[in-house]
Structure 1
Amino acid sequence: MYDALLVIDVQTALMEEHPCNEANFIQNIKELIESFRTNNKPVLYVQHNGGIGDDLEHGSKGWSIYQEIEPVLSDIMIEKKFNSAFRQTALKEELDKINAKNIIICGMQTEYCIDVSVKVAFEYGYNITIVKNSTTTFDNDFSQGEKLTKYYEYKIWNNRYATVISQKEFKDNMNK
């Protein structure tokens, strides 16, 4: 049912800042990755390069994919410099190569890179699924990270740009 998994910006520097719902978020992504690999479905990692001197500078420790969900050789790696995982990257071409139509998007940060990537993927005609608690962000001056994530899952994305499902629904769908 699902053609590809996109794991966006789950990088060491961001995880070291301890986003909301951190343990559950990482566990959910681990399960998604494991399921895709078990079913021989592609996992694509997107890494943000913040430029020289940034915590997410290419090649730095902070730029690396978080150790608990490290890629394997068969995974596809994409580097980005903008919030959108699609802007000036090879992501769309990689998805086209594998004839992906139905994708799951997970990662960080809900209201920035995940939101714009969901909307761009929607514009490209992909069927997008978000598994509940597989995106996260940080508390800010306006809202708690957990509230922001739920807001985007159910008020912005669900039934507009994507379908939001539970981890159980994902497992049931993946085993069909």
Structure 2
Amino acid sequence: MRQAVLVIDVQQGLCEGEGAVFDSAGVIARINTVTRRARAAGVAVIVIQHESGPGYLEHGTAAWQSAHGLEVQPGDHRVRKTTPDAFLRTSLAPLLQELGVQELVVCGMHTEFCVDTTTRQALARGYPVVLIADGHTSAGNPALDAAQVIAHHNHTLANIESFGPRVRPVSAADYRPDAGSTISSGRPSGSAKKV
């Protein structure tokens, strides 16, 4: 099943200051493991960046840039977004269609916002999701610390059945990319591999 890796909002502004996410360096290292394997197997890597108005992830600012340590390659695709949903008013859906993607691998920042929303939208659009269980993170909130937010979402997203497609949490170490196979039209074919 042809995959694409979505690297969601791994941006410098989310890794520093009062609202810094939990274990950013460790999460970035694990995401790099996933994207290296993906690129080596011919799986597309899509780097998604959030942008807001002045003072928070403003386009072009240092805070908006990819986080220090995140490995981004010239062949990676880029998508800009302005809401927690990476599909809403963005180029993501047509890009996935153009690439013939059948399954998404999701990792990134702000588990309970952009990772959660994009994962649910992917399911609603018919994409099964491999959630990198140790490759997403949060700053936590007054009700739950970051580790609890992450664990909660790994459990909750994996137990949503009503969309049809499912979420499979997989650690970065256990991720195995699947580029699928193609026929002459460029459409993916062949049977799905288990991650």
**TM-score (normalizing by structure 1):** 0.91
Q: Which residue of 1 aligns with 2:186?
A: none
The answer to which of 157-166 and 135-144 deviates more is: 157-166
Q: Which residue of 1 aligns with 2:188?
A: none
State the secondary structure of the residue aligned to 1:163.
strand
1:2-81 pair list within 5 angstroms: 2-17=2-17, 18-51=20-53, 53-81=54-82
Q: Which runs of 5+ in 1 are unaligned?
A: none
Specify the code of the residue in structure 2 equivalent to 1:3.
Q
Aligned residues: 173
State the secondary structure of the residue aligned to 2:94.
helix
State the secondary structure of the residue aligned to 1:7.
strand
Q: Which residue of 2 aligns with 1:139?
A: 140
| Percent of aligned pairs sharing the same letter | 27
Specify the code of the residue in structure 2 equivalent to 1:93.
P
Instruction: Work out whether residues 32 and 71 of structure 2, in 8 Å CA contact, stay in contact via their aligned partners in 1.
Output: no
Distance in 2, Cα, partners of 1:2 & 1:110: 24
Instruction: Work out whether residues 135 and 171 of structure 2, in 8 Å CA contact, stay in contact via their aligned partners in 1.
Output: no
State the secondary structure of the residue aligned to 2:69.
helix
Offset at residue 58 of structure 1 (A): 0.3
Specify the code of the residue in structure 2 equivalent to 1:42.
A
- Provide runs of 4+ in structure 1 moved above 4 Å: 173-176
Distance in 2, Cα, partners of 1:151 & 1:113: 15
Offset at residue 70 of structure 1 (A): 3.8
Distance in 2, Cα, partners of 1:43 & 1:147: 28
Q: Which residue of 1 aligns with 2:167?
A: 162
Instruction: Work out whether residues 133 and 154 of structure 2, in 8 Å CA contact, stay in contact via their aligned partners in 1.
Output: yes
Instruction: Work out whether residues 45 and 76 of structure 1, in 8 Å CA contact, stay in contact via their aligned partners in 2.
Output: yes
Specify the code of the residue in structure 1 equivalent to 2:112.
E
Distance in 1, Cα, partners of 2:34 & 2:123: 21
Instruction: Work out whether residues 29 and 70 of structure 2, in 8 Å CA contact, stay in contact via their aligned partners in 1.
Output: no
Larger Rg computed on CA atoms: 2
Instruction: Work out whether residues 43 and 178 of structure 2, in 8 Å CA contact, stay in contact via their aligned partners in 1.
Output: no
User: Which is helix-richer, 1 or 2?
Assistant: 1
Offset at residue 170 of structure 1 (A): 1.2
Offset at residue 103 of structure 1 (A): 1.1
State the secondary structure of the residue aligned to 2:34.
helix
Q: Which residue of 1 aligns with 2:101?
A: 100
Distance in 1, Cα, partners of 2:105 & 2:6: 6
Specify the code of the residue in structure 1 equivalent to 2:144.
S
Distance in 2, Cα, partners of 1:57 & 1:43: 23
Instruction: Work out whether residues 2 and 104 of structure 1, in 8 Å CA contact, stay in contact via their aligned partners in 2.
Output: no
